[in-house]
Amino acid sequence: MHNTLTRVQNVFGFFTSVAFAVAAAIAMSVLLSPQTPSASLELRNVQVVKGRPHYYSTKREEYAHVKFDLDADLTSLFSWNTKQLFLYITASYPSSDPTIIPPSEAVIWDAIIPSDYAPLHPNTYIHPTSKTAPKPKKSAKGKGKKEVGKPYPAGASPGIVRLDNQKPKYQITDVSGKIAERENATLTLHWNVQPWVGALVWTNTKTVGRWQGLQGGEAKFAFPPLKGTEVKKDDLKTETGGERNRGSPA
């Protein structure tokens, strides 16, 4: 510590130790905040039609289009160390030979739900506004300001998701190209809790310490037989998230 340079080195060196210790304490502190996630997920409609992977493809495959209802309360997943929550729903179905081949899983919908403190990002989820909720009054003050959608319903907090007859984000198919009439399929809600510092946490279905497992969030269904052109194109539309801006300025 006899001259300026050694003092700078010593202070900075100890600062890194303190920063690491505080980060470790923050990462561990999330174990203290109780979690009680619950969700009700239901299949609304599923249709299977023929399609092709991209415009110029000559390959014809079967695609399933799954609509669902989701009513989830995941507010307890937002502790002080939660930056954002990645929510996703998978459709899984058993393979042709379950003893050898594990079941297939395909994501049909996902959303990034930021915490209130997370900086604004164009890819984060915007919750649809419900038809029954009163529309915000337009005042002269807010005229110049552009309305920015929230990742949760009006009056709620991050982690509340209420979706009614939600379109999927992705149509799904199987490697074999055949997905119609598969039995024992399951829709499942999953998540990743992405912290500011610490470990990424996946869906927990079992209770660990103060963290309760997810209640609900599963729905059984079966893929229906293939349909032809009687299905309207409008019924097979998919939802696009903020990430459709990919590559263009936000």
Interacting residues with another protein (CB under 8 A): 1-5, 7-8, 10-11, 14-15, 18-19, 21-22, 25-26, 29, 79-81, 117, 196
| Residue 27: its H or E element | helix 4-29
Least distance in angstroms from the C-beta of 15 to another protein? 5
Say which residues have a Cβ less than 8 Å from residue 137's Cβ, sequence separation at least 6: none
Q: CB of 174: closest distance to another protein in angstroms?
A: 43
H or E stretch covering 108:
strand 104-114
Question: Quick check: 85 and 159 in contact, CB under 8 A?
Answer: yes
The residue (of 7 and 60) whose beta carbon lies closer to another protein is 7
Nearer to another protein, 159 or 217 (CB): 159
Nearer to another protein by C-beta: 81 or 104? 81
CB of 75 to another protein, least distance (A): 13
Q: Smallest gap, in angstroms, from Cβ of residue 17 to another protein?
A: 8
Query: What's the DSSP call for residue 77?
Result: G
Calculate Rg over the CA atoms of the chain.
Answer: 23
CA separation, residue 231 to residues 20, 46, 169, 222, 237 (Å): 58, 11, 18, 18, 11
Q: Which is nearer to another protein, 14 or 243 (CB)?
A: 14
Could you give the CA distance from residue 43 to residue 166 in angstroms, rounded to a whole number? 10
- The residue among 29 and 129 lying less far from another protein, judged by its C-beta, is 29
- Output the smallest distance, CB 65 to another protein, in A: 40
Of 47 and 79, which CB lies nearer to another protein in the complex structure? 79
The dihedral sign for the CA sequence 19, 21, 24, 28? negative
Concatenated DSSP letters of 163-191:
EEEEPPSS-B--TTS--TT--SEEEEEEE
* Closest distance to another protein from the beta carbon of 195 (Å): 9
